[in-house]
Structure 1
Amino acid sequence: MNKQTSKLAWHYTTGTKFKQIVESGYLDPKKTATPPNEKPILWFSKNQHFEPTAQKAVRLPTGQIENLGMMGTYEMGGGLIRFGYPIAKLTEYKKLCRQAGIAMLDVLSLERVGLSQGAKPTDWMGTLKKIDIQDCIIEVFSGDAWVNVKGGSHNA
Structure 2
Amino acid sequence: MEEIKLYHYTSISHLIEIFRTGRLNISQTDKMLKVKKPGLWFSTNSEWEYSAFKRFNDGKKEFDLNKPEEFEKYIGCARLVTNLDSRFVTYAKYKYKSKAHPLVWEKMGEVGRSKGSNPDEWYATFSPLNIDNLDIEVYDNGKWYNLKKEDGELDTDLFNKNLEKTFIYKRGKELESKIEKPPSDKIDVKKPVVEEVKEEPVVEEVKEEPVVEEEPVVEEIEEEPVVEEEPVVEEVEEEPVVEEEPV
TM-score range, shorter chain: 0.7 to 0.9
Which segments of 5 or more consecutive residues in structure 1 lack a partner in the other structure? Answer: none
- State the secondary structure of the residue aligned to 2:136: strand
CA contact (8 A) 2:72 2:140 kept: no
Counterpart position of 1:67? 64
Q: CA deviation at 1:11?
A: 0.7
- 1:103 Cα shift? 1.2
**More contact order relative to length (CA 8 Å, sep ≥ 6):** 1
Correspondence 1:80 to 2:77: yes
Q: Which moved more, 1:95-104 or 1:112-121?
A: 95-104
Aligned to 2:167: none
Does structure 1 retain, via aligned residues, the 8 Å contact 2:23–2:130? yes
> What is residue 53 of structure 1 aligned with on the other side?
51
Structure 1 or 2: more helix by fraction: 2
Aligned length: 145
Query: Retained in 2: the 8 A contact 1:81–1:140?
Result: yes
Structure 1 vs Structure 2 CA RMSD: 2.4
What are the residue-to-residue correspondences of 1:113-152 with 2, within 5 Å?
113-150=111-148
TM-score after normalising by structure 2: 0.53
- 59 and 23 in structure 1: CA distance in 2 versus 1, 3 angstrom threshold: closer
Aligned residues of 2:35 and 2:101 also touching (Cα < 8 A): no
Preserved contact between residue 43 and residue 121 of structure 2 (Cα < 8 Å): yes
Distance 1:17 1:43 in 2: 15
Q: Is the 8 A contact 1:45 1:51 kept in 2?
A: yes
Match of 1:8 in 2: 5
How far the C-alpha of 1:107 sits from its partner, in A, is: 1.2
Give the aligned residue type for 1:44. Answer: F
1:136–1:151 CA contact under 8 A, matched in 2: no
**Structure-1 separation of matches of 2:72 and 2:49:** 13
User: For structure 2, which runs of at least 5 residues remain unmatched after alignment?
Assistant: 151-247
**CA shift at 1:43, angstroms?**
0.6
Q: What CA distance in whole angstroms lies between the structure 2 residues aligned with 1:124 and 1:151?
A: 28
Post-superposition Cα deviations, 1:29-53, rounded to whole Å, max 9, x if no partner, equal: 1x61413452221110111011001
Q: Distance in 2 between matches of 1:149 and 1:49?
A: 17
- Describe the SS at the equivalent of 1:105: helix
TM-score (norm 1): 0.82
SS for the counterpart of 1:50 is coil
- State the shift of 1:104 in Å: 1.4
Q: Which has the higher strand share?
A: 1
2:28 counterpart residue number = 32
| Cα shift at 1:151 | 7.3
Deviations 1:57-106 (A, max 9, x none): 23699x8x6322212222221x1111111112421122123221211111
- Misfit runs of 4+, over 3 Å: 58-61
Identity %: 25
The answer (yes or no) to whether the contact 1:138–1:151 under 8 Å persists in 2 is no
- SS class of match (1:150): coil
Residue 150 (structure 1) shift = 2.3
